[in-house]
Amino acid sequence: MIQFPIQSYKGNVIYTHDMEAWSYYRLHENTVGVNEQEAENHLVNRLQRLAWQFAAFEEIDYKIVPIPVDIDKRMDSLQQQYEGKYAEIGKYYAERAKEILREEAKNVVEYKFFVGIKLKKRELDENILSTFSSSFKSMNRYLQKLAGFGGHEVDDLTASMFEESEEDAYATINNYLGAFRAKEKELCYIIRHQFVRGQEQPDGDGSVYSLTEGILDPGKAGYLHIRQLDDESWCAFLPVSEFPVDLSHKEWAYFFQSYHFPVEVNMRTIYKKKKDDENQTNTIKKRFRDQDAQLIEANEDDDSLINTGRELLHELENEIKNQGKPLLRTHINFVVYGQTKEEVRKRARRLKSDFKDQQIEIVQPLADQLLLFHQSLPAAKIIAEDWEQILTPESFAESLFSLTRKIGNTVGFYLGKNISHDGESIESSQSLVFYHPFLAHLGLKGSKYSSPHVTISGPTGMGKSYLLKDILLNGVFFGAKVLMTDPKNEVEKKFKQALTPEMERMAPFFKELIESFNYITLSSEKKDAGKLDPLTFLEGEEAQDAAVGVLEYLSELQSNERNVKTAIYKGVRHVLQQEEKPGLLKVVRYLQESDDQDVKNVGDLLYEIGTNGVAKLMFSEGDVDGISLGEQVNILQIQNLNLPDEGEKAATRDEHIAVALMQPLAKFATKFARDDTVVKMTIFEEAWMLMNTGAGDRLINELLRTGRSLRSAVYIVTQSTYEYNKPQIKENIGTKFAFKAKTTEEAGNIIEFLGMEDNKANRNMLKNLSEGQCIVEDMYGRTAKIQTDVLFDEWISAFNTKESDRGRAETEEAFM
């Protein structure tokens, strides 16, 4: 009869009935960016060195445990962070997201990586023994064992025998991969998981006895049936029966993470003494000699694979002899499970087929399923020895153990799916991406950036505005105050177009949300004149610098017109000092009254600009009412603004005025962002125009530097990352979203901006991104290709920036 191996546990250490101890650790999850071979090689190198160092511990238990993503728990946690005016609406949408994701993501898991290390027992001398008054406790422990009772408690004497070895084990694993000592709750979860695979997952509590409840039935050949009181499931253990000679780039502990069903992995490696390893190579050499003799007898040529194997064996023999390289006697089994035997059969078939493509053979033993189940338990002994594989540290490292696909935040609103693997789509991917806009500035452990700022870049029509509006609506639920600049004057129009009578009936909360926003529309009409006059809402040197910047830019002065520049400075200073209500029109009149004809001409030009068209917004007599930002969400939009194409200088007078308007607009937003009494989102649409001016460039830099201390997250939406690809700027940006690159040059710039590996694959990927697909670098410095995804029909309708095609698209596609 097979005995359950665990006698008791304490902290992260499991004690067996044979007085052995195993310490367990949860690894830091490693990530590798898209097509980043160098980063992958770095992980392989660390795994290789770790596998070598583990030889000091004789036996290691590697586990990959798929843990279901608890949508309800995450959404409940998110709702607790909602506050302010829109908290109830946020909770309504969180509940709707729950319902949708429960169905769409019912098989979604996150992979956690655990390593168990068999500890060495320290022999205790008499002095140490005398410090413990636990003789009776120890005797009692053995009486319990004889009686077949396994208690949870561990006496101090037993624990002390393994303390030193546990510290060595933790130092070793933490040095190479980074690890946490497993919590008792995590140990309980791993144990209980074995008995409820494919059923409702455990919460990690309970006695050893309660953790092992369940009826295991191996009656169906190749399967194990697990029954609980109110549930049942099936599972199949699939051990590796053959590895190829070369395991390079096989990723055999990683590639299946893109599957739509969970896969569990158990790997046990056993280390023996150097003499045993040398004997092992001698055994293999004998097999090669036998094969050579058979080839000679059959009068056949040498097999190239055998020759390669012979060369590798010779090299390995020298490394064992001269460097002490260890051999890893490895037992690996994969576990698939599900509600029905048929479901498990299909999953096992998929796994076997995909591994066969990797030249790795895994099998589904008919009679040993129960033995393999027992062998997968923490601290269990190897009892199914038929599938032992001899690996080197290098070949083990090619597993990419500890590599995960995680991107984004653990708790946040649903943003989309990770589609980094070849052939993945929004429909097939099971890797959910969550995003929280107000975490980065907290300086969380493991994060690369401590900045709340965000860039969203890419050409028109690829999904920038769609993503931004998704973040905007979700952001207001956290109580954030918002100022969004909308130079295209489209946000209110698109939002309110979505409020059809049918939509109002279906989604009343959406109507309430959209209609409560403060849409501030600035036009060329007289009533709006002067509302962006920098002298009316700024003070001191800041007002002077902004006013001079606007007037100089509009005047298009040449470098030799110093007299005019001087006059502008003097005029602004004069108005600020002498006028109770300063305004730019008063500066213009100061210039018009100059005796210098050049200055007078510029004054006349500025008067014509400032009293006609949309430029009137920047010019006043100082008697205008300021813009009210009393609401939580304020969207500042300007009508009839003719913007130049991205990357182009303003070519017409209208374009020139449009760029000039961005300066006071940005100053206005900066003033809003400086209020540190509330959490804020300051959003700059078409921010590239700001960077085209010296004043705008300084403004963006100031906001990025100070935003964290001011509790302000700045969102920069632009068509190109070129202006932001500078160390002093990009280091102040916490999250970066990059949509399609139009050119190879732009692809290279994005790669540098995101810190990705510059190679042909990445450049091609960026140039071939489809609508809604982007590369994201999160606050932890991880990169991935994601597909944005909005769950609610009314939001999708409101975010769509495309004009109605009046059936043209449907007509075209009908004949394809």
Instruction: List beta partners, residue 269.
Output: 60, 330
Nearest CA-CA partner of 498 in 795, 788, 772, 96: 795
Domain shared by 510 and 543, yes or no? no
Domain shared by 510 and 586, yes or no? no
Q: Provide the token pair at 37.
A: 């071979």
Q: What are phi and psi of 687, to 5 degrees?
A: -65, -15
The structural domain count of the chain equals 2
Specify the pLDDT at position 633.
93
Distance separating alpha carbons of residues 550 and 696, to the nearest angstrom = 11
Q: 384 near 411, Cβ under 8 Å?
A: no
pLDDT grade, residue 234 (50/70/90)? very high
Domain shared by 652 and 754, yes or no? yes
Q: 522 vs 183, which has greater pLDDT?
A: 183
Q: 687 near 672, Cβ under 8 Å?
A: no
pLDDT grade, residue 155 (50/70/90)? confident
Q: Provide the token pair at 612.
A: 């006609």
Specify the pLDDT at position 147.
37
CA distances from 374 to 3, 150, 587 (A): 9, 18, 86
CA distances from 721 to 643, 691, 780 (A): 18, 11, 20
In the block, tokens 């450049």 appear at 763
Calculate the dihedral angle through the C-alpha atoms of 393, 398, 401, 405, rounding to the nearest 10 degrees. Answer: 160
- 156 is a domain residue: no
Distance separating alpha carbons of residues 328 and 47, to the nearest angstrom = 13
Domain shared by 513 and 539, yes or no? no
- 601 is a domain residue: yes
Amino acid 561 reads E
Average pLDDT, the chain: 86
Q: Provide the token pair at 650.
A: 């303003």
- 92 is a domain residue: no
229: left (phi over 0), alpha (psi -120 to 50) or beta: alpha
pLDDT value at 364 more than 90: yes
Residues in the chain: 816
Each residue of 313-336: b (16+ CB within 10 Å) or e?
beebbebbeeeebbbbbbbbbbbb
pLDDT value at 457 more than 50: yes
CA atoms within 13 A on the CB side of 291: 15
| Sign of torsion over alpha carbons 318, 322, 326, 329 | positive
pLDDT grade, residue 134 (50/70/90)? very low
CA distances from 34 to 394, 735, 742 (A): 23, 16, 19
Mean pLDDT of 785-812: 76
Specify the pLDDT at position 644.
74
* pLDDT digits 0-9 by tens, 55-92: 999 999 999 999 999 999 999 999 999 999 999 999 99
Specify the pLDDT at position 204.
60
Distance separating alpha carbons of residues 520 and 635, to the nearest angstrom = 6
Each residue of 124-143: b (16+ CB within 10 Å) or e?
eeeeeeeeeebeeeeeebee
pLDDT grade, residue 806 (50/70/90)? very low
pLDDT value at 126 more than 80: no
Distance separating alpha carbons of residues 348 and 267, to the nearest angstrom = 18
Helix/strand/coil (H/E/C) assignment for every residue in 108-132: CEEEEEEEEEECCCCCCCHHHHHCC
Distance separating alpha carbons of residues 691 and 483, to the nearest angstrom = 19
Instruction: List beta partners, residue 783.
Output: 777
Instruction: List beta partners, residue 736.
Output: 455, 777
Mean pLDDT of 649-661: 83
pLDDT grade, residue 662 (50/70/90)? confident
Amino acid 210 reads S
pLDDT grade, residue 797 (50/70/90)? very high
Mean pLDDT of 448-471: 92
Domain shared by 756 and 615, yes or no? no
Last residue of a domain, one of 599, 620, 641: 620
pLDDT grade, residue 127 (50/70/90)? low
- 50 is a domain residue: no
Specify the pLDDT at position 146.
39
Q: Provide the token pair at 459.
A: 């050409």
Question: Cβ of 607: how many Cβ atoms within 10 Å?
Answer: 16
Distance separating alpha carbons of residues 352 and 256, to the nearest angstrom = 11
* pLDDT digits 0-9 by tens, 409-440: 999 999 999 999 888 899 888 899 999 999 88
Long-range interactions of 71-77: CB distance < 8 A, separation 24+: 71/98, 71/101, 71/102, 71/105, 72/98, 72/102, 74/410, 74/411, 74/434, 75/101, 77/411
pLDDT value at 809 more than 50: no
Domain shared by 579 and 725, yes or no? no
The percent of residues above 90 in pLDDT, for the chain, comes to 54
Last residue of a domain, one of 566, 590, 620: 620
Give the CA angle between residues 258, 259, 260 to the nearest 5°: 120
Question: Tell me, what CATH number does 781's domain have?
Answer: 3.40.50.300
Q: Are strands 179-181 and 328-338 parallel, antiparallel or unpaired?
A: unpaired
Specify the pLDDT at position 460.
87
Distance separating alpha carbons of residues 472 and 683, to the nearest angstrom = 9
- 780 is a domain residue: yes
Distance separating alpha carbons of residues 98 and 105, to the nearest angstrom = 10
Mean pLDDT of 727-736: 88
Domain shared by 777 and 751, yes or no? yes
Specify the pLDDT at position 733.
92
pLDDT value at 250 more than 70: yes
Calculate the dihedral angle through the C-alpha atoms of 257, 212, 114, 62, rounding to the nearest 10 degrees. Answer: -80
Give the CA angle between residues 678, 683, 688 to the nearest 5°: 145
* pLDDT digits 0-9 by tens, 180-207: 999 999 999 999 999 999 898 777 666 6
Nearest CA-CA partner of 57 in 187, 217, 205, 166: 166
Amino acid 527 reads K
Specify the pLDDT at position 621.
93
Distance separating alpha carbons of residues 764 and 9, to the nearest angstrom = 52
* pLDDT digits 0-9 by tens, 610-621: 999 889 999 999
CA atoms within 13 A on the CB side of 77: 12
Enclosing domain of residue 590? 531-620
Domain shared by 442 and 470, yes or no? yes
Specify the pLDDT at position 207.
67
- 99 is a domain residue: no
Q: 761 near 481, Cβ under 8 Å?
A: no
Nearest CA-CA partner of 531 in 444, 593, 618, 454: 618
Specify the pLDDT at position 758.
93
pLDDT value at 273 more than 90: no
Specify the pLDDT at position 315.
64
- 340 is a domain residue: no
pLDDT value at 640 more than 70: yes
Domain shared by 635 and 612, yes or no? no
User: Which residues contact residue 763 at a Cβ distance below 8 angstroms, ignoring those fewer than 6 apart?
Assistant: 741, 744, 747, 748, 751
Specify the pLDDT at position 317.
64
Q: Is residue 27 packed enough to be buried (19+ CB in 10 Å), middle (13-18) or exposed (0-12)?
A: buried
Distance separating alpha carbons of residues 117 and 58, to the nearest angstrom = 8
Domain shared by 438 and 544, yes or no? no
User: Which residues contact residue 318 at a Cβ distance below 8 angstroms, ignoring those fewer than 6 apart?
Assistant: none
User: Which residues contact residue 659 at a Cβ distance below 8 angstroms, ignoring those fewer than 6 apart?
Assistant: 553, 644, 650, 689, 692, 693
Mean pLDDT of 513-529: 89
Sheet strands (E) in 618-708: 633-638, 680-684
In the block, tokens 């076997």 appear at 352
Last residue of a domain, one of 586, 620, 654: 620
Distance separating alpha carbons of residues 1 and 443, to the nearest angstrom = 53
Domain shared by 449 and 507, yes or no? yes
Q: Which of 207-221, 282-296, 356-370 has the highest mean pLDDT?
A: 356-370
Mean pLDDT of 139-162: 59
Domain shared by 469 and 547, yes or no? no
DSSP 8-state class, residue 726: S
| Distance linking the first and last C-alpha atoms of the chain | 67
Q: 168 vs 17, which has greater pLDDT?
A: 168
Identify the weakest region by mean pLDDT among 151-155, 174-178, 556-560, 602-606.
Answer: 151-155
CA distances from 315 to 49, 308, 361 (A): 18, 11, 25
- 729 is a domain residue: yes
Distance separating alpha carbons of residues 528 and 525, to the nearest angstrom = 6
